[in-house]
Amino acid sequence: MSKNAHPRRRFLRAASGAALAPLAGCGGRSGPWRFFTAEEAEAVIALCEQIIPADEDPGATEAGVIHYIDRHLTGHFRRWQPVYRRGLAELDRLCRQQHGERFARLPFARQTAVLEGLTGEGKEFFNLVVEHAMQGFYGDPRHGGNRDAVSWRMLGVPLVPVRGRQHYDLTGSGGGA
């Protein structure tokens, strides 16, 4: 299924992106993010794309995985705020030291090499991002990631039916699907 076969979906995606714009500056936020700074967000997007890269199917960026992480860092993941803040700063410090540029600005292959070389706390932080990225990519779109259910489409899993119980035929046996 070609992505271009769904112009309406692309329109909706663009529209939902645009809808974020008026939020900038509201409630003391300086960007579209609840938790991340603009620079942190770039790093998280790059990290997630490393974890689930785009190929013939969308990757973490197109799935909006960062929206999942950003949203839950101000909710259920609140206690990991300092871990993200410190972890991202450390990662950029390491990259600047070794390659003269922050993580998001490095070429893809070099980013991969950096991540493969992590040890200790850096690796622990990355493992946490891996966990969250997988949730954001493969989990239910209602939680902010897996935009347009891209991962479920990739796996060929039917989407959650939006229907009330009155729409089920409840008179027969449970034999069929």
Partner 1 sequence: MKHVNAVIVGAGAGGGIVAKELAEAGFSVVVLERGRWLTAYDCRKDDLRNQRTTVLGNGTGPDDERHPRVVVELDGRERIVRPSEPGYNNNAACVGGGTLTYGAMAWRFMERDFRMRSSYGCPEGSTLEDWPVSYQDLEPYYEKAEYELGVSGDVTPDPFHAPRRKPLPMPPLSPTREHEILKPAAERLGWHPFDIPMLRNSVPYGGRPACMRCRWCVGFVCEVNAKNGTQNTVLPRALATGHCELRTECVAKEILVDARGRATGVAYFDARDRLQTQTADLVVVSCAAIESARLLLNSKSRLFPNGIGNRYDWVGRNLQGHSYCGAVGLFEQVTYDDVGPGASIAICDFNHGNPGLRGGAMLANEFIRLPYQFLGRMPPEVPRWGKAHKDFVRQFYRRSIMVQGPVQEMPVFDARVELDPKVKDYWGIPVARLSGRKHPHTLEICRFIAERAEAWLKQAGAIRTWKRIPGPGLSGGQHQAGTCRMGNDPKSSVVDRYCRVHEMENVYVVDGSVHVTNGGFNPVLTIMALAYWASEHLVREWRGRRGRG
The only residue of 29, 76, 93, 123 in contact with partner 1, by rule CB under 8 A: 76
**Helix (H, G, I), strand (E, B), or coil: what is residue 86?**
helix
What's the CA gap between 28 and 26, in Å, rounded?
5
Q: Is residue 156 at the binding interface for partner 1, with CB under 8 A as the rule?
A: yes
Least distance to partner 1, CB of residue 23, Å: 23
Q: Is residue 173 at the binding interface for partner 1, with CB under 8 A as the rule?
A: yes
Q: Is residue 90 at the binding interface for partner 1, with CB under 8 A as the rule?
A: no
Nearest CA to 159 out of 174, 144, 146 is that of 146
The only residue of 112, 121, 123, 124 in contact with partner 1, by rule CB under 8 A: 112
Q: Could you tell me the CA-to-CA distances from 174 to 68, 162, 170 in Å, in that order?
A: 36, 20, 9
Q: Are 63 and 146 in contact (CB under 8 A)?
A: yes
Per-residue binder mask for partner 1 (CB under 8 A), 38-57, x = binder: ------------xxxx-x-x
Q: Is residue 122 at the binding interface for partner 1, with CB under 8 A as the rule?
A: no
Residue 96 or 123 with smaller CB distance to partner 1: 123
What's the CA gap between 84 and 82, in Å, rounded?
5
Q: Is residue 176 at the binding interface for partner 1, with CB under 8 A as the rule?
A: yes
Q: Is residue 65 at the binding interface for partner 1, with CB under 8 A as the rule?
A: no
Q: Is residue 119 at the binding interface for partner 1, with CB under 8 A as the rule?
A: no
Q: Is residue 152 at the binding interface for partner 1, with CB under 8 A as the rule?
A: yes
Angle at alpha carbon of residue 30, lines to 25 and 32, rounded to 5°: 85
Q: How many residues does the chain have?
A: 177
Q: Is residue 170 at the binding interface for partner 1, with CB under 8 A as the rule?
A: yes
Q: Are 132 and 69 in contact (CB under 8 A)?
A: yes
Q: Are 40 and 88 in contact (CB under 8 A)?
A: yes
Interface ranges with partner 1 (CB under 8 A): 50-53, 55, 57, 59, 72, 76, 112, 127, 130-131, 133-135, 138-140, 142-143, 151-152, 154-158, 160, 165, 168, 170-177
